[in-house]
A and B are shown apart, each in its own frame.
Chain A
Amino acid sequence: MSLDAFLLLAAALFSVGLYGALSQQSIVMLMMGLELMINALLVAGGAFWFYVAPGTADGQVLVLVAVTVMALEMAMGFAVVTALLRARDVDTTDDAGDLKG
């Protein structure tokens, strides 16, 4: 166990999540990719806290914020999908291209 090993795990999770976020058509599956990327952030934040600066609680606060962001991202994502499905009966990103600002 070392900082490198933990960061490699984080990088692997991040890349898998990035693949999902880029490739999935369904918005719900895309959100699972985003969740995996935040999951990587949890690992990296915890590892940095433990191996670099365990004296202060900054790393822990970062992990706490990441966990919250995960929940918020999911709530907002599902709200958007629900609104989209009500309005035009679609749930894929390709059909919602006109939402880009």
Chain B
Amino acid sequence: MSTKTLANGKTVETYPLTQAQRFMFFAWKQFSANTPFLFISSGYYWKDDFRADLLKEALEEAIARCDSLRIRYTLENVNGNPQVMQYVDDDAETPVEEVDLSDMPYEESYQVMKGWAKELQPVFDCPLNTIRLIRLADGLNGFFMKLNHLSFDGYASKAFIVDTMAIYLHKKCGTPYPKPMRSYYDAMMDEFKYLDSDQRKADRAYWMQHFSTMSEPIFNDYLIAGNRLKKAQKENPGQRAVSLYEGDHPETETLTYELSKEDSDLIMDLCKEKNLSVPCVLMLGLRTALSAFNENQEDVSFKFMINRRGSLLSKKAYGNRWHFYSLRTIIPADLTFEQAVAAVEDAQSEVFKHCNFDTLEMYQVKHIAMKQGAISNTGTMTYDTMTFSYHAPQEVPCESDEVRATCIGVWYPTDFSAQNLYLTIKHRANDNGFEFIFDYRTCENSLEDLKIFYPKIVEAIMTGVKNPQITMGEILDIIKL
């Protein structure tokens, strides 16, 4: 910890980035520099007898309850080297501006707001966040947020929406005022405590042992004609990892698919009935499709995002807590769908137990420990074909079922990504159905193959959901290319 004197003469304590922030910063600098990658933009809109005055008050109160909006970043000279530091500026304000886009069609207003998301902006010693009260066509109203990604991950961004709407409904309908949020400072201090803890030593030892004793994984491509491992194996038949980034082209496009409410409900109902994990069912579908694309390979790995929000402090203190880990499963054909979900959950739980150990350190340990010498960092050689994240539902308070049916939650992509292919699965705001969002780097991905990939994921999931005792071999026969 050190101190900094701000322009207004106030002295604040400054702290290094947490490990999760360091990874985000590294990914930006390494894979996506000079892009708006460090900002995350979203919007939430609905139709009701709209009270702009109350929403503005609600936003201002939610802003006051959110330390993360007052985090600032600065460069400090540490032993002659610039180091990124953070501090909470209690006086920092996030004004709520009102913007009326109701005179243009929804699609046009979407493009306007996407333009805001894509605007480059500075990161150090300056305001970082934009929150706007928005009026859209056809009676839709709500708010747009462009938040700094070092201070907010997807979970935190959604948590802000939940808090704002709870306050809005309290003001408009007299519902209970939401419980207090938690201190970002306390959550940050917890992260720093871990760095000197015995638990971190134990986690490091676990990963060292794990990587030094495991068999070599294998890359499973979602590209059909352009299968990168098969290409590499022509030169080197024993190769099992590939290099994904041959050039620095972070430009992406987004492909979004909506799963019907009926099919989404079938998945949720099965998980409830059989006490299964929803993300594990989804990840089983993903790894089964990857298997089908690679001659029914039983050994499949991809990266998955863990937002590490278990305690109430971590859930309610906003911030960015993302760590990325490889999820490797070896699932034989004779396992039933239900058994395979349990196998994915076992693999996931094993990672969860040691996931406070940060992503960058984990790459280093992997490099030291793996017999094959592969680094398994996406920037070099990797077995992890793509990245997956599941955004668990955080229920946004709503006035009535009629209003709920009109709610829209929107992400505004920046069209730049540090990841080659990133699948996010989240729940729609109006009916809780699943939305599959593929962010893909245009230079390295075949859109045609992705359009085959998605239906295979869904077919694998729904086949298993409708018959949990079916074997994985039978599912692979059904979804084969």
> Are A and B part of the same complex?
no
**A contacts, CB < 8 Å to B:** none
Q: Residues of B at under 8 Å CB distance from A?
A: none
